[in-house]
Amino acid sequence: MITIQGHTFHLQAGDISYAFTVDKAARNLYWGGAIGGEDLPKLAVEGFHSSFDPDTNAERGEYPVWNGHDFTLPCLKVQGTQRVHFLTYQSHELEKDGKTERLTLRFDSAAFTLALVYQLYPNGIIGRNSVITAKEPIQLEKAFSASVNLPCYQECEVRYAVGKWARENQLQQHPMSTGILTLQAKRGIPGPQYNPWVALCEKDAGETHGRVWFAALAYSGNWAMHIEKTEQGNTHIVAGVNDFDFAWALQPQQSYTTPVLYIGFSQDGYGAMSHLMHSFVREHILPPRGLRRVLYNSWEATAFDVRVEEQKRLAQKAAQIGCELFVVDDGWFGQRHSDKAGLGDWYVNREKFPNGLSDLIRYVKSLGMDFGIWVEPEAVNPDSDLYRTHPQWAYHIPGVEPMQARNQLSLNITLPEVQAYLKGMLGKLLRENDITFLKWDMNRPLTDMDSPELWSKHVQALYSLWAWLHQEFPHVELETCSGGGGRVELGSLAYAYQSWPSDNTDPYDRLFIQEGYTQLYPVDTMMCWVTESGEGRAPRSLDYRFCSAMCGGLGIGANLSKFTQEELEVCTRWIAQYKRWRPIIQQGVLYRLLSPIQGDMTAVQYVSQDRHEAVVFAFLRGQTYGTLRPPLRLQGLDADAEYAVNGTVYSGKTLCNAGISLALRRDFQSAALYIEKV
C-alpha cells in the first residue's frame, strides 16, 4: 500500500515500511520493519554539522544529482549548457497493476526532467529505477538506478559474493567502515568477479536473526554498486550501470531508462532474505515455467569431440538412468574441434553428424528425452568462415589489434546485419530441428569497444535477441552461461529459465558456490551436475556427488559410457528419488542449516510450501577422530504436527529444537533425509 500525506510518501508491504519526503528533491526518512504512518512526521533524527561543511544533515537523498553542493556519491551527473543541475519537484502519479503498485515522482531542471519510479511488490520488494528525459542536448556521464539509505546512523556489516572462473559466488562479509566500497563489473558481462547484489546487516546478524537490508540489480552488462558510509555515519548504496567508460547522449525529448534495482528488508537474517527474494524472483522475474528437467550434458564427457555414434551411446545410457533432456554442448558445428576455430559457423559439422542433427534428435526423442543444444552467438573465432567473410562484424578499434580471449573475439551484435545473421542462424536451427532447450554461452569479456555507448547497446541488443527468441520459439527454454557462472543475475533471469553457476563441478567446492548462489537466486534456476570428481582430487562417492547436485536442478555431466552397470543402477535410483522430491527441492522453501564456510558439516533443508514434506541433505567434509557433533536442528516445520523420518515419528518442535542425529562419520560422507507429515 502506498500512502501520501502532503509531501511524505509511505510504501508498505508485508512487514516493511519505506518512507521518504519530498522538498525540492526526495530524501529518505526510513526503511525497515513496519512503522505507523501517523508517526512519519515525527521521524526526524537529530543531526550535526560543523559550520565548516555544507549541510550534511541533508544527506540521505533518494536520487542525489550532482549539483556542486552535495558531496555524497550522486546518482546522476549530466553535461548540458550547464555543468550542475538543481531539481524542483513537479508531481507524482500512482498506478496499480494486479498485485503491484507503482509510484512515479517527477522533477524538473533547466536541462532535463527526471522520473523516479518505485514499484512495490506484495512481499515488500521494491523495484526502483529512473528515467531522464532531455530538454536540451545533454550528455549523461553517470545515470544510476537509485540511491538507497539505511536508517540514520545505522552501523552495519556488508555481505556480498566475489569470485573468478571456477570459484564463483564466494560469500564475503566484514564490518562497513567509513569510506566507499565498490562492487562492479567493467568487462561487458556481469562476470564472476562480483555478483550484482549486496546485503547490509546489523552486526552479528546471521542466517536466522538480525536485520538485513539488501539490493540486487537487474542488468547483464557493466554494473556498479558503491556502498558509501559518510563521516556522519550514514550509509547508502548507489547502484546502476557502471559509470566506468560510460557516456550517453540525449537530444531533446529523448529519454534514458536505467535498469531496475530491487531492494528488500528482512527482520530475521539472511535465511528470510533468501525466502523473500526466491519467491519474488519466481513470481515476478522468471518467465512462467514448470519444473526443471533432469538433463544430460555432453561437455565433460566428450568436450569438442561430439560424434553422432558416441552421443547416441551416451543418450542411450542417459535415458536408461532417467534423464529427461539430452544436451549436446560445444563442438557440433563448423570446424569446431577445439576452442581455436569454428565459432560463428553455425552449420552442422558433417564429419561428426553425417546425417545432420536430426538423426541424433530422432534417436533422443525415441528414447523419450527432449533435445537441447549449446550456442555462443555473441562470439567468433578469427579462424572461422564468418570472420574471414565479415571481419568488420567483430568489435574493433581502427588501428588496434583486437584482443583475443579463449582464441575468440566478440561480435558487435548491435549492428543490424549481425542481428539479422544471428536471427537467421538461430531461426534455422530451431525451425529445422526439434530443439526445446538452448544453452546460451558467452566465454569472454567484451573488449575493443570503439565508443562508450557500445557497452550499454550490447546489453540492449542481447535482450532484444532473447525477447525475439521467446516470441518466435516460446517452447524453447534458455539456460544462461558465461564461462561458467559469469552471467547469473536478475537481468538474465528475466529471459533464462535456468543458469549455469560454475564450470567447477566438484561436489564439495559446489557447496560453497551453491551457498553464495542461493542467497538471492532460487534453487530451481541453479543447475548442478554429477560428474567425475574435481581435477586432482580423490573421487567422491556417487552418493555424495548426487546429494550435492540434488541441491539444485539436477543434471548429469559424467561420461556414462565409462560407468559400470552397478554405477548406472546407483544413478537410476538417485534420479528416481530426485524426481519424487523435485517439487519440494525446486518449489519449496530453502533453509541453509549449516554453512560450509563455518565448519566441516554442511546441511540444507527444503520444505514444501504446505509444510507437509521436507528433504535434508547433509555433508561431512573430513572426520577427525573422536569428534562428536550435535544433532542437526531443522527449520520451517509445523511445531505441533508429527513428522516421520526414516520410519520414526517426531513432533515438528522436537525436530526443530532438539534436532536429529545424523551419524555421519566418514570423510566426504553425505546423507539425504525425507521428512513427511503423518
Query: Rule CB under 6 A: which of 438-457 touch ligand GLA?
Result: 441, 443
Q: Give the one residue of 483, 491, 636, 652 binding ligand GLA; rule: CB under 6 A.
A: 483
Do 433 and 358 meet the contact criterion of CB atoms below 8 Å apart? Answer: yes
In whole angstroms, how close is the CB of 485 to ligand GLA at the nearest point? 8
> Which one, 126 or 527, has the nearer CB to ligand GLA?
527
> Could you say whether residue 484 binds ligand GLA (CB under 6 A)?
yes
Phi-psi region of 501 (alpha: psi -120 to 50; beta: other; left: phi over 0): alpha
Q: Please, which residues bridge with residue 193 across strands?
A: none
Over the range 448-457, which residues count as b (16 or more CB within 10 Å of their CB) and which as e?
Answer: bbeebebbbb
Q: Which is nearer to ligand GLA, 112 or 299 (CB)?
A: 299
Is the separation of the CB atoms in 283 and 218 below 8 Å? no
Q: Containing H/E element for 364?
A: helix 356-366
Minimum Å gap between C-beta 475 and ligand GLA is 22
Identify which range of 132-140, 317-325, 481-489, 656-664 contacts ligand GLA by CB under 6 A: 481-489
* 639-668 CB burial, b ≥16 within 10 A, e <16: eeeebebeeeebbbebbbeeebebebeeeb
Q: Which of 335, 661, 299 is nearest to 500 (CA)?
A: 299
Of residues 346-405, which lie at the interface with ligand GLA (CB under 6 A)? 374
| Residue 553 binding ligand GLA, by CB under 6 A | no
Q: Which residue is nearest to ligand GLA (CB)?
A: 330
Shortest distance (Å) from residue 642 CB to ligand GLA: 44
Nearer to ligand GLA, 191 or 652 (CB): 191
Q: Which is nearer to ligand GLA, 360 or 481 (CB)?
A: 481
What is the size of the binding site for ligand GLA (CB under 6 A)? 11
Report which of 107, 20, 453 is spatially closest to residue 249, judged by C-alpha positions. 453
Sign of CA dihedral 425, 427, 428, 429: positive
The residue from 168, 207, 228, 329 that contacts ligand GLA (CB under 6 A) is 329
Q: Write down the least CB distance from residue 22 to ligand GLA, Å.
A: 47
Q: In whole angstroms, how close is the CB of 331 to ligand GLA at the nearest point?
A: 8
515 residue type, one letter: E
CA distances from 371 to 298, 324, 442 (A): 12, 9, 21
Pick from 20, 299, 395, 617: which binds ligand GLA (CB under 6 A)?
Answer: 299
Q: In terms of DSSP H, where are the helices of 175-326? A: 269-280, 299-302, 308-321
Nearest of 171, 103, 113 to residue 138 by alpha carbon:
113
Using the Cα atoms of residue 348, residue 354, residue 356 and residue 357 in order, give the sign of their dihedral. negative
Asked if 370 is an active-site residue, the reply is no
Nearer CB in complex with ligand GLA: 299/643 = 299
Distance CA 526, CA 596 (A): 18
Report the nearest approach of ligand GLA to the CB of residue 186 (Å). 21
For ligand GLA, the closer CB: 443 or 602: 443
Closest CB 439 distance from ligand GLA, rounded Å: 6
CB of 189 to ligand GLA, least distance (A): 12
Picking from 180, 191, 248, 194, the residue whose alpha carbon sits closest to that of residue 221 is 191
Q: What letter does residue 153 receive in the DSSP assignment?
A: T
Question: Per the residue annotation, which of 330, 441, 506, 509 is the catalytic one?
Answer: 441
Q: What are the angstrom distances between the C-alpha of 142 and each of 10, 80, 196, 250? A: 28, 13, 18, 13
**Beta carbon nearer to ligand GLA, 406 or 428:** 406
| Binding segment toward ligand GLA, per CB under 6 A, in 151-159, 255-263, 480-488, 531-539 | 480-488
Q: Give every CB contact of residue 664 below 8 A, 6+ residues apart in sequence.
A: 601, 618, 619, 620, 629, 670, 671
Which of the 8 DSSP states describes residue 659? -
468 alpha carbon, distance to own chain's centre = 21
3-state secondary structure of 126: strand
Shortest distance in whole angstroms from residue 344 CB to ligand GLA: 14
Residue 390 has which C-alpha cell? 565479415
271 binds ligand GLA (CB under 6 A): no
Look at the block and give the residue holding cell 532531455: 134
Which one of 108, 503, 543, 676 is in contact with ligand GLA (CB under 6 A)?
Answer: 503
The span of 118-126, 167-175, 234-242, 477-485 binding ligand GLA (CB under 6 A) equals 477-485
Beta bridge partners of 206: none
- Please list every residue from 154 through 193 that binds ligand GLA, using CB under 6 A: none
> Exposed, middle or buried, 675 (CB in 10 Å: 0-12/13-18/19+)?
buried
60 versus 439: smaller Cβ distance to ligand GLA: 439
Of 207, 243, 330, 524, the residue at the interface with ligand GLA (CB under 6 A) is 330
Of 13-21, 313-321, 478-486, 617-625: span binding ligand GLA (CB under 6 A):
478-486
Q: Which of 125, 380, 481, 493 binds ligand GLA (CB under 6 A)?
A: 481
Residues 105-164 touching ligand GLA, rule: CB under 6 A, are none
Residue 569: enclosing H or E segment and its boundaries? Answer: helix 565-587
Q: Which is nearer to ligand GLA, 444 or 458 (CB)?
A: 444
d(CA 328, CA 346): 14
Task: Choose the binding region for ligand GLA from 167-175, 192-200, 288-296, 479-487 (rule: CB under 6 A).
Answer: 479-487
- Work out how close the CB of 506 gets to ligand GLA at its nearest, in angstroms, rounded to a whole number: 14
Between 124 and 486, whose beta carbon lies closer to ligand GLA? 486
List the catalytic residue out of 70, 108, 448, 503.
Answer: 503
Active site residues: 441, 503
Q: Which residues make up the interface to ligand GLA (CB under 6 A)?
A: 299, 329-330, 374, 441, 443, 481, 483-484, 500, 503
